[in-house]
Structure 1
């Protein structure tokens, strides 16, 4: 999973400014849009005869679909009834607009102009109704998922940018590979675009935008509600049970995924397509529709981390990292979809959430370090086994490394303490998160050194250290810690485990071995032989009784210790046994003094740990 460093999040492509405020619906006078027929030169090729003809054709078509004078027009949808006639209707309205522009420049007091204006008002009411019906009746086909799916299907056929959208792209929307839903979505989008362009060029952008914003914002708001995104206060979070908070965060994580891959992505595509004729309008519409929902969504992590830190369990750091990961993974999409100045608040909330989450993760890891240093358990672990502190710390750290990439982002500027020992091969290129993990494990090992002093027997202290350091290494080996700490670190600490184990063997089993003479084959009296056998038997049984209560949790280490003790003890005893068994004397004396055979020693050792 690629992670974007925090420093990169402060650089955004500057969005172009709007020609009107995005806080309100655009008015006819404030919107900039292309009007090919707006100049006198564009109308100079229209004759009086053409004016009459175009005016008559427009009147016939417009009155046919006038809902106030025609039952047919009142009950039937133009774009649903006939796509061909709908296109003719749009053409008639565009021609009417050309006629009006000609008449304004030729004779502003003309009765024909008054008639044309009346027809235009009727036509705009019709188109408003059609625009509303298409948006309302095609909610399923125009849901962001369908729109985004259609966009992905057609992306390979067209890579037209926002500023280069033209009528030709409509041809890319239909195809044999597009599903029925996507095809219906494509048709509805094409109809909406043609109506929007007609209304905008006729000076009715405000009415068109109002309808669009009203319906599309309700869809976004409804979707966010279904995703469980709701406004919540810090006080509510503080009163919330941990389980409920976990569910809220999980719901938020799902909402981010759906929103960025479908909801906002699809809405941006739809808005850009419908209002392709005017950059300022599509920017304003998208901001009106999505800004509030996006700002709420991206700002929620800041509310989640407002809970009193004393109430956070250690495991809550993983939820913080989940939220950080969700935003950082979708940061390119956030910058792309909400690139406008009018949607800057959405980007700001996402960035502020990253900063707050980062601070909280740092704080919780510092508190975790403090909890290691202040662990107050006084009783030594029975049998020199793995301490609960070791289990807790290494489990926590190994799970943390599943988030190595985002942690590297969060701790990019962390400076390790001067006393942190590093392998010779490590240098300034070592990542901050690697150093952070090395330091936390060092804190743990130092605390274990203190706890080893709780044992009265020094040998058991070494067994305790061997057990715990071996558990540390095992967790490193089986997690992403191995990539952060490296083979040199692992090898160095494996050598320490071997040294601890060797010290334990020497102090524990060296006592047994010391009961045998240095010169195993030297001649000795029966009394000397009996004494050595008796001392060996007593020492071995005493040591065995003590050691059978001790544990070596790691199977590999356990086998290594037993094999090492067996290798040191059994051959030496066997040589002495074979040489001096006969020196003990009678069969009765052998039974009394030589109770343990070399095979018995091996069995004793096999039953340990």
Structure 2
């Protein structure tokens, strides 16, 4: 590193095509009107200061940092070099053969070598204080150069105090280091040694950026390596990347941009070139990883969908910062790479969403869910859609450019609630309504596999209830709207009513229309017998049924009980004693009203042994009512 940074210069001041900035204006007095003694005095003063800190002639200067030992003297050194540089301009403009020119050139080369060493030492010794995190969290205070044409000594500490006494010790150290680096950079650039200064800066600062990217877990990886990884390994890399991008953008690159802009404030072209070469490789590596993931041939799983959405969100949410930090023309490839990753992620998300829709439509299993309960397709699809709803803002940007789903063969009522004055919002709402509709249509087809029609309606009620529940308890409620929810809640009630009518209608019909009407003992016996048979059959059959949602379960049971128990109680109270003696009552009156309520309360859990339950309950009822 030392041999690279401190090699002797072979390009002289005169042969350098670089010119000093216009801010270092030349004195109006021509050389012939400037006394020889004044020129000699300026050169001698510069010689005294420069040779004092010549590392080749002074052991002390070789092992000591000028800026660390005595910053006031360091500023005097800078002033002497600037004065020497201006005198050299005057000499060249008036008499390029002046005998002092060679001496001045030699002094300038020694001074540049010294400043190059100081520049390297400040960057190296203050890595902890010039780290990107410190740069990004401190205000971008710019220490103005205190040197001007042949002015008297001005301490840079005066400028630093103006920043306020509340600056922390770390900020003070970093501010001093930044001021020193800026002073050296301006001096070397003015003297035509910009290349030597910039090379030192690039070597040290690029190593910091590259090390930071590596420590964040972002490593160079090829497309073939991504395709060969199992999902667990790739998922871990994606998680690391999601954490890394926040730190890299808001700390690593932002902090480096602040430091680079400050140190090389005197030259826009140098700032651009320097920051580009330092950050381009690391930034391209960072923003290129999502594109590799998006283009990978991994299975179309839900995990990949949500990781792709996470990465898309991470880039899009930081897009303003990305454009600001990499706003230079030279860094446009970095912006292009970030944009390319967004496009590839968008295409991947579209493909994964299409695959999801296709997987629902192609679900071919004819296996029946016991008891008409919740189908795994319903729970899996709605979990997927409810999680997608959390990314509605991102999906709005992505889906707005996609073609809308075909509506020709589907009822327009499914899309009534998705109308919106905002086209992107309407597009995302329509897309989600479509996906839910695809699921409901598939479930409707699966319901037809049940031979018992009542069970098919219970299946539809169960699954639609779960759909509505997931919509109401997620961001889907804002995408599909309250009208959609209300309409489908009504469908759930309709399905439940159809189930109740088909499954329990015969039980309701087994009781007389007027339960308190006078009838003969034989008619009473026949009515009780008819009810017993009907209720036993319905209960035994429906005891295996399932209502997965507690609210739906209670609503169905309450509805059945409301239609059955009051009528049976009236009939029971009126005609129980008409069937004959105690023996006849024990034979024909098998259920008390309380028994009916107990049986109904045990329904729709799908775990009842109906025969033992009925037997036990009936026995206890007889003992209770015939004692």
Normalised to the residue count of structure 2, the TM-score between the two structures is: 0.88
Q: 1:29 to 1:439 in 2, by over 3 A?
A: farther
Larger Rg: 2
2:598, 2:39 → 1: CA distance?
115
Aligned partner of 1:495 in structure 2 is: 490
Deviation at 1:185, TM superposition (A): 1.2
Give SS of 1:41's match. Answer: coil
2:595, 2:245 → 1: CA distance?
67
Q: 1:170 to 1:562 in 2, by over 3 A?
A: farther
- Whether 1:517 and 2:539 are equivalent positions in the alignment is no
Q: Which string of whole-angstrom CA distances, capped at 9 and with x for unpartnered residues, describes residues 326-354 of structure 1?
A: 11011001100101111111000000000
- Whether 1:556 and 2:543 are equivalent positions in the alignment is no
Aligned partner of 1:356 in structure 2 is: 344
> 224, 227, 230: which is aligned to 1:238?
227
- Point out where structure 2 has 5 or more consecutive residues left out of the alignment: 1-12, 145-155, 605-627
- Whether 1:398 and 2:386 are equivalent positions in the alignment is yes
Q: Which string of whole-angstrom CA distances, capped at 9 and with x for unpartnered residues, describes residues 241-279 of structure 1?
A: 111000111111122111101000000000000000001
Aligned residues of 1:174 and 1:183 also touching (Cα < 8 A)? no
Aligned residues of 1:43 and 1:101 also touching (Cα < 8 A)? no
Spell out the pairing of 1:176-215 with structure 2 (5 A cutoff): 176-215=165-204
> 285, 290, 293: which is aligned to 2:279?
290
Deviation at 1:306, TM superposition (A): 2.3
Q: 1:468 to 1:55 in 2, by over 3 A?
A: same
- Whether 1:346 and 2:334 are equivalent positions in the alignment is yes
Spell out the pairing of 1:523-534 with structure 2 (5 A cutoff): 523-534=518-529
Spell out the pairing of 1:455-474 with structure 2 (5 A cutoff): 455-474=450-469
> 365, 371, 375: which is aligned to 1:383?
371
Deviation at 1:447, TM superposition (A): 0.3
Q: 1:604 to 1:33 in 2, by over 3 A?
A: farther
2:29, 2:359 → 1: CA distance?
79
2:158, 2:392 → 1: CA distance?
43
Q: 1:383 to 1:181 in 2, by over 3 A?
A: same
Deviation at 1:30, TM superposition (A): 7.1
Q: 1:556 to 1:171 in 2, by over 3 A?
A: same
Aligned residues of 2:19 and 2:190 also touching (Cα < 8 A)? no
Aligned residues of 1:385 and 1:552 also touching (Cα < 8 A)? yes
Q: 1:581 to 1:33 in 2, by over 3 A?
A: farther
1:282, 1:368 → 2: CA distance?
48
Aligned residues of 2:419 and 2:426 also touching (Cα < 8 A)? no
Q: 1:328 to 1:176 in 2, by over 3 A?
A: same
Give SS of 2:546's match. Answer: coil
Aligned residues of 2:295 and 2:348 also touching (Cα < 8 A)? no
- Point out where structure 1 has 5 or more consecutive residues left out of the alignment: 1-26, 159-166
Greater relative contact order structure (CA < 8 Å, 6+ sep):
1
The count of residues paired between Structure 1 and Structure 2 equals 572
Q: 1:457 to 1:216 in 2, by over 3 A?
A: same
Deviation at 1:98, TM superposition (A): 1.3
Q: 1:168 to 1:442 in 2, by over 3 A?
A: farther
Aligned partner of 1:67 in structure 2 is: 55
Give SS of 2:507's match. Answer: helix
Deviation at 1:547, TM superposition (A): 1.1
Deviation at 1:81, TM superposition (A): 0.4
Aligned partner of 1:115 in structure 2 is: 103
Aligned residues of 2:160 and 2:175 also touching (Cα < 8 A)? no
Spell out the pairing of 1:569-608 with structure 2 (5 A cutoff): 569-608=564-603
Deviation at 1:516, TM superposition (A): 0.9
2:35, 2:576 → 1: CA distance?
135
Q: Which string of whole-angstrom CA distances, capped at 9 and with x for unpartnered residues, describes residues 553-585 of structure 1?
A: 111111111111111111111121222223212
Normalised to the residue count of structure 1, the TM-score between the two structures is: 0.90
Q: 1:33 to 1:404 in 2, by over 3 A?
A: farther
Deviation at 1:425, TM superposition (A): 5.1
Q: Which string of whole-angstrom CA distances, capped at 9 and with x for unpartnered residues, describes residues 98-119 of structure 1?
A: 1111111222111111111111
Cα root mean square deviation, aligned: 2.2
Aligned residues of 1:150 and 1:178 also touching (Cα < 8 A)? no
1:367, 1:42 → 2: CA distance?
81
- Whether 1:270 and 2:265 are equivalent positions in the alignment is no
